[in-house]
Copies of this chain bind each other. A is one copy, B any other.
Amino acid sequence: MAASPLSISASHSEPIDAVALGDALTALRAAPPLVQCLTNVVVSQWTANVLLAAGAAPAMVDNAHEAAGFAAISGGVLVNLGTPFDDTAAAMLAAVSSAGEAGVPWVLDPVAVGVMQWRTTLAQQLITANAPAIIRGNASEILALAGGSGGKGVDSIDSAEDAVEVAKVLARQHGTVVAVSGPIDHLTDGERVVMLANGHPMMTQVTGVGCALGALMAAFAGVVADPLLAAAAATAVLTVAADEAAIHSRGPGSFAVGLLDELAALTAHHLIEHVRILAE
């Protein structure tokens, strides 16, 4: 689907500041993008609920019969490699190719790439079929995708700071945005680097918060033309809401519940006031 009339047609040279992030949220709420999610079975409900709470329209279409057709009518497509199977891997390849033909942006979340060979090969195949608009991962995953060594399991053993130079190379290589999640999120299109400093350690005590971030990036990629702005807006929305949720939480259970509440309550005004963008 081409960018809708309500999309923000930000030029890539416009600054990514707090107001631009707030405007992206306003655009998302004004025209909820249809977000096709081919994600892992662990986080599918959570991902759908995060997208709904933020204001997007999730659709978990991940079978090989329908994935390609649906990608062509989506606003954005998420491919998350958390629990791939032969069936869903075929659906992912079909969806990504179809998205490319239809001009629909897609986001790759390369969960545990580098740790396991099969999904690492799958990630490379997906990128080769159609370069994603955004790749979002932790530092270990990004280093592994760039050809370095991987982490152990799904948690990162490297820091976002360590990965940012590699991320820039990876971004230029594929003409994509690379978002490295961490206590400070580093996002780059190979030239520009955006650093965002919201969020709370509680985010690592709930499964799928990073996965939900990838989904939000696919949502914002459906409403703003600049993938770096889309990735930054998703990151800001999730982490500013997380800051609020952490205040009212007793632990990871109530934090997850509160995060959905805060995402739904988040206004562009609150986002602009509270987002912390660091100077490079």
Stretch at the interface among A11-19, A133-141, A166-174, A247-255: A247-255
A265 CA / B249 CA spacing, docked (Å): 12
Stretch at the interface among A23-31, A35-43, A269-277: A35-43
A118 touches B63 (CB 8 A): yes
Q: A53-B205, A82-B60, A116-B70 are in contact. Are A261 and B265 (CB under 8 A)?
A: no
Copies of the protein in its oligomer? 3
- Indicate if A278 sits at the interface (CB-CB under 8 A): no
- Indicate if A119 sits at the interface (CB-CB under 8 A): yes
B252 touches A53 (CB 8 A): yes
- B-chain residues with CB within 8 Å of residue A115 when the two chains form the complex: 70
A38 CA / B223 CA spacing, docked (Å): 35
A66 touches B265 (CB 8 A): no
- Indicate if A52 sits at the interface (CB-CB under 8 A): yes
- B-chain residues with CB within 8 Å of residue A262 when the two chains form the complex: 251
Stretch at the interface among A102-110, A148-156, A190-198: A148-156
Give 14 A-B contacts (CB < 8 Å), ordered by A residue.
A41-B44, A42-B45, A45-B207, A53-B253, A59-B112, A63-B84, A63-B118, A65-B116, A250-B258, A251-B264, A252-B260, A252-B264, A253-B257, A253-B264
Q: Which A residues contact B (CB, under 8 angstroms)?
A: 34, 40-46, 48-49, 52-53, 57-63, 65-66, 69-70, 73, 82-87, 112, 115-119, 152-155, 205-208, 249-254, 256-265
